[in-house]
Amino acid sequence: MGGSWVKQGVLVAPPLAVAWSATHVALPYVDPGAEVLYCSTRDCAGRSWIARARLDLASEAVGFGQVDPEPVLRPGALGCFDDSGVTMSCVVDRGDEKYLYYTGWSLGVTVPFYLAIGLAISRGGGPFERVSQAPVLGRTASDPYLTASPHILVEDGRWRMWYVSCVGWTRREDGVRHHYHLRYAESADGIDWETGGRVAIDFADEREYAIARPCVVRGNAGYEMWFSARGDAYRLGYARSTDGLDWTRLDEEGGLDVSPGEWDGEMIAYPHVFDHDGRRFMLYNGNNYGATGVGSAVVVG
């Protein structure tokens, strides 16, 4: 799909109009068929909850509608992998079921947090219920530190996941720093995942230490991936692949950069790209990981 990205401004700024939202609207994900937005918002204690809102995709600009009064998913039970928050990743349709993948947060001592991938399923339009109080992809021999932010496509019965994996933590004068990039996994049912440490997107140089939140779109010419990559601050990353396994980074073709002095003047993070009615949209976060809300952009020309 040709053309250039044009920013449409802030779609929604925090807080959301619900009692459990105090700050941040982050990690947007759109189900274009249902015209709904899933996103993460933080409560007064800083814990993330997953919210859902109506969207209007019929006009030139994305329109934001009513927020569901109840959360799609709330923080997990005390002591579980997600008791300190749940953040949005993606939704996969499977018949009359919807599989919602999310990142569960728990707090650490030697490191500030642990992350793992959880799954909740909605059947027949009902509420989302966790398949387990444990993650579907947590720490393993291949991913010993953390896993997070999966994006999943189902192709010919094969579930394909691109996700965040931490390769280690380092000590610094100001504390500790995580180092994570993007890896690949497969599954036959979306629940039990086979990992082997295959890297999808690696660090561009020694300054880069965080590659986050992949979004993969398959087209006639192969696969495109948008993600965020951080050295000093998050910027938009972009890559292409013919098979979804071997990727070539082409960050300069990602299409969006910061707008100095604006809500996204310091960073661009957590992109979600989707097609609807012959148009391509991107929702993304700006400064401070969603503290300034979610913005939208559209391909024109």
pLDDT number for residue 163:
99
pLDDT per position as a tens digit, 255-269: 999 999 999 999 999
Spell out the SS3 assignment of the chain.
CCCEEEEEEEEECCCCCCCCCCEEEEEEEEECCCCEEEEEEECCCCCEEEEEEEEECCCCCCEEEEECCCCCECCCCCCCCCCCEEEEEEEEEECCEEEEEEEEEEECCCCCEEEEEEEEEEECCCCCEECCCCCCECCCCCCCCCEEEEEEEEECCEEEEEEEEEEEEEEECCEEEEEEEEEEEEECCCCCEEEEEEEEECCCCCCCCEEEEEEEEEECCEEEEEEEEECCCEEEEEEEECCCCCCEECHHHCCCCCCCCCCCCCCCEEEEEEEECCEEEEEEECHHHHCCCEEEEEEEC
**In this model, does residue 130 exceed pLDDT 60?**
yes
**In this model, does residue 21 exceed pLDDT 80?**
yes
pLDDT number for residue 62:
94
pTM for the whole structure:
0.97
pLDDT per position as a tens digit, 94-122: 999 999 999 999 999 999 999 999 999 99
Domains, the chain? 78-293 (2.115.10.20)
| Interval 26-55 mean pLDDT | 97
pLDDT number for residue 2:
56
pLDDT number for residue 59:
84
pLDDT per position as a tens digit, 42-91: 999 999 999 999 999 988 889 999 999 999 999 999 999 999 999 999 99
